[in-house]
Amino acid sequence: MASVSISSQLNKAVRQQYMSLPQGGKSQVTYIWIDGTGEGLRNKTRTLDQEPSTILDIPEWNFDGSSTYQAEGSNSDMYLVPVRMFRDPFTHDPNKLVLCEVLKYNRLPAETNHRRRCSEVMEKVKEHCMWFGMEQEYTLLGIDGHPYSWPLNGFPGPQGPYYCGVGADNAYGRDVVECHYKACLYAGINIYGTNAEVMPSQWEFQVGPCEGIEMGDQLWVARFLLHRVCEDFGVVATLDPKPMKGNWNGAGCHTNVSTKQMREEDGLQFIEKAIEKLGQNHAAHIRSYDPRGGKDNMRRLTGLHETSNISDFSAGVANRGASIRIPRQVGQERKGYFEDRRPAANCDPYAVTAIIAATCLLEPEQEVEKQDTEEEKSN
């Protein structure tokens, strides 16, 4: 069995004695941001004199970007700009979690701040009422990097009984999953559901439907909550798209998409038009679907284990081996949504939703070209 962290074994009853103390009317606010890797999350906490009622009550802050892969030591101060506030499930009301955008010393977005670009795209397409739902897969590991509850010197039985499984021999780490679910509900995350996935120790939660920029905000904070819950249990949640080599499923972040037109009668025609545009821009999407421009996804999108091949674009009704899946019910009712199965588990939801919206609803060549240019500048 994988090892857990020593800090998780500290006496939680002693901790609770202090956590129940009154705060004298003050509020703890934890600032959360994306670091220079494009997938890591950082946080730090400060005291406000009273509970903030809106995001406008929370001041900007700063941090040392040279310690988060985001700046040189000679010019290291970065700005934290609060953009979304949630309740704090770890220290409870009146304390808050605050998602922040990161700006450089010159007030321009940091290289891994894809929210600013996403917000611009969503503003352009707002009349389409674009909804997203993202299915976040992840794998539980011990702090030694070994999958949680896997035999130390071997492998569990082959895939088959684990997907949506029950029982100690099939479901590994359910406590983490259920606590994360409750934490999301308390915080105000629009969590849709959760289930055990195909590989043992692999799980999934879904966030959505969310409109526009809200999708990225909600998923990033849901990821923070996952890592924080895992910290309490002494295990690690990895978003690696292919954490185990061999005959094991990888981890994706399937993205469900619809517009107002797609959800209305005979909306299937608009779904089909969107899929045609997605096919024409397949390469650009693959570059945007993991933090390393497709290199992480290359290990996952092999055409095996319920994936399409990274080099090919395909679409089909109820086909989990296609790039884009049209759910069977949508095909029958001729309206609804489509599922893009290409995004990797460690994707940036801002980058994913922005390029999908731009490709489907704006001038694809112009918008995709603009995104590629911005990526080249940041590199």
- Indicate which CATH number applies to the domain containing 20: 3.10.20.70
Tell me the three state secondary structure of residue 43.
Answer: strand
- Per-residue buried b or exposed e for 292-326, using 16+ beta carbons within 10 Å of the residue's own CB: eebebbbbbbeeebebbebeebbbeeebeebbbbb
Phi, psi torsion values for 192, nearest 5 degrees: -90, -35
pLDDT confidence bin for 196, thresholds 50/70/90: very high
Task: Choose the final residue of a domain: 110, 145, 160.
Answer: 110
**The CA-based dihedral angle spanning residues 153, 159, 161, 164, taken in that order and rounded to the nearest 10 degrees:** 110
Q: Decide if 245 is inside a domain.
A: yes
pLDDT of amino acid 2 = 61
Count CB atoms within 10 A of the CB of residue 57: 15
Q: Assess whether 258 and 181 both reside in one domain.
A: yes
Q: d(Cα 345, Cα 144) in Å, to the nearest integer?
A: 21
167 in a domain, yes or no? yes
- Identify the pLDDT of residue 225: 98
Q: Identify whether 145 is part of a domain.
A: yes
| Domain-terminating residue out of 81, 110, 139 | 110
**Coil, strand or helix at 206:** strand
Claim to verify: residue 139 and residue 102 sit in the same structural domain: no
Peptide bond into 327 cis (omega under 30): no
What's the CATH number where 329 sits? 3.30.590.10
Quick one: tokens of 151? Answer: 């035999």
* Interatomic CA distance for residues 217 and 140, integer angstroms: 23
My answer on whether 176 and 303 are in the same domain is yes
**Which pLDDT tens digit goes with each residue over 91-108?**
999 999 999 999 999 999
Residue-number span of the structural domain to which 41 is assigned: 7-110
pLDDT at 362 over 90: yes
Judgement on whether residues 60 and 180 belong to the same structural domain of the protein: no
Cβ neighbours around 41 below 10 Å, total? 17
Instruction: State whether 106 and 125 are in the same domain.
Output: no
Does the residue 283 lie in any domain?
Answer: yes
What is the Cα Rg of the chain in Å?
A: 21
Could you report the per-residue pLDDT of 33-55, keeping only the tens digit for each?
A: 999 999 999 999 999 999 999 99
* Angle between the N-to-C axes of helices 214-233 and 174-187, in degrees from 0 to 180, rounded to the nearest 10: 140
Mean residue pLDDT of the chain comes to 94
In the predicted model, is pLDDT for residue 13 greater than 80? yes
Q: Which residues pair with 30 in a beta bridge?
A: 45, 97
**Which residue type sits at 346?**
N
